[in-house]
Structure formats: C-alpha cells, structure tokens
Amino acid sequence: MRTHTEFFFFFFFFLVVVWFVCFFGRGFFGKHACLVIHVIIHSQPTLRFLFLSSIIVFFFQGKIFGAPILSLPQLFIPEYGSIPTFLVDVCKYLESHAHTEGLFRKSGSVVRQKLLKAKLDGGDSDLMDALPCDVAGILKQFFRELPEPILPADLQDVLCKAQQLSHDEKTSATILISCLMHERAVSILRYFFNFLQNVSMRSDTNRMNSSNLAVIFAPNLLQTGDSEKISSSTEKKLRVQAAIVQTLIDQASDIGEI
C-alpha cells in the first residue's frame, strides 16, 4: 500500500510531466513521458524513493515553509542522524534562549515573523537579530505548514487510543508505536523532542514544563481539525493529543527504540 507521501510525490511528478510535455511538445521527454512514469511506479521502492526525492529537492530547493521535509537541506548529527538544517539552527538558537519566560507560549510579532520567514526562504539563515518569541513562532509554523504532519496521520488514531491505558502501559505503547514510523522521521522526532525536553528542564525560569509545551505543540504536530467548532469533544481530543506529545517529550531518548 502506498503512503500519503508517495501519492503526493506521484501527483507532483505528474504535474511536472505535464509541464514538460507542454513546453517540449514532441521532444524526447514528451515522447517518453508515459514510459518514464511506468518505470518509476514499478521500480524498486528504494529507487522510486530516491528518484522522487530528487525531483522534490530540485523544485523546492531554497524553500523551507510549506515544503516537504525531504526537500530541506540536511545536517548529519551523530547522535540522531540526518536532521533538517533549519531545525538544527532554530533549536540551537532557542536553546540558548531557553531561560526566556513563556517561550513558545508568548506570541511574537506577526509582521516580524512574516519577514523572518521570507528571509529564511530566501536563503539567509542568520537568526542573530531575531527575537526568541519570533523564532519560536516560526518553528510552530514550520511544523504546522508541512504537507504531511511529522507524526504520521495513519498512526494518530492508535496513538490516541494508547493514551487511555494506565501510565506505564501508555508510555510503553506510545514508544512502541513510534517504532512503526519511518526511520528518517524517527531521527527528526527524537532530535526535536530532546530539544523540547531540554527546554522543559528550564521550567523554573521559563515556566514551560513538558505539559505546557505539549499543549502548545500538539495542534502543530498532529491533525487537529481546525475547521471544527470548539466543543467538549474537540477539547477532549486536544487533551489526548497533548498527552501524546507530553509522553514523547518526557521519553524523548526512547523514541523509535524497542
């Protein structure tokens, strides 16, 4: 069964093919477009993954917000693996400001954040002149604007059900489910949740323990049904999603480990 990501890649590739055919008409690519699609669809998963990834990287290079996570430049972190460079830069900056009271809870300037996002999408990664509240704000937007949530949609229901278990069983089940995620996603999640854990360890000054951070990040990391009206059922859903995120923060080093 193909994943949502693969369907997105295939659809995107189809649009690319149409574009080439329109511009090159009866040229080489136009004549052989169907053959190329057939070869990609029926190739080995690894080869298909590499080919489609290269297409995404080519067309989204430079763009950070709203781009597939595979298209982002990567930095190899020995303890974790390949992590998006943007995420590493932002987490390092925010960790140096982890003492800031209300970090992630206090809203920054919408105008400044819009300018900062445009600056980063333009290739300028310097964050030195930015305010912590603005950088924290664009980090939440980064996860919220991913084409697919970093916590896979097809595992969110079972993650929610796991929160109904007793404390120890809930923790074990949540970590076990994380082992079903793609290896690359696991690396990113382990890195990011370790960062949040470090922030929570400064809660005596920033007032942001793992519970508070989970409430803030749950809507950005999971599908929350933004179009739904606030009701007792949606509030309960948000509490369950926050419980998932808090467990992952508290058990960050165990994510993806059996």
Give the torsion sign (CA, 77, 81, 85, 89).
Answer: negative
**Joined tokens for residue 90:** 């932002």
Q: What is the pLDDT of residue 58?
A: 45
Instruction: Dump pLDDT digits (tens) for 95-133.
Output: 999 999 999 999 999 999 999 999 999 999 999 999 999
Instruction: Dump pLDDT digits (tens) for 8-44.
Output: 555 555 555 444 444 444 454 444 555 555 555 555 5
Does position 211 have pLDDT exceeding 90, yes or no? yes
Q: What is the pLDDT of residue 258?
A: 77
Q: What is the pLDDT of residue 71?
A: 83
Please check whether residue 109 is in contact with residue 53, taking contact to mean a CB–CB distance below 8 angstroms. Answer: no
Q: What DSSP letter does each residue of 32-76 carry, written as one string?
A: HHHHHHHHHHTS-HHHHHHHHHHHHHHHHTT--TTS-GGGS-EEE
Does position 159 have pLDDT exceeding 70, yes or no? yes
**Joined tokens for residue 238:** 């948000």
Q: How crowded is residue 176: how many other Cβ atoms within 10 Å of its Cβ? A: 13
Residues 168-180 have a mean pLDDT of 96
Q: What DSSP letter does each residue of 117-153 carry, written as one string?
A: HHHHHTT----TTS-HHHHHHHHHHHHHTSSS-SS-H
Element (H, E) at 201: none
Q: What is the pLDDT of residue 45?
A: 55
Q: Where are the domains of the chain?
A: 4-60, 71-254
Instruction: Give the integer Cα–Cα distance in Å for 186 and 80.
Output: 9
Please check whether residue 252 is in contact with residue 196, taking contact to mean a CB–CB distance below 8 angstroms. Answer: yes
State which fold the 71-254 domain adopts: Phosphatidylinositol 3-kinase; Chain A (1.10.555)
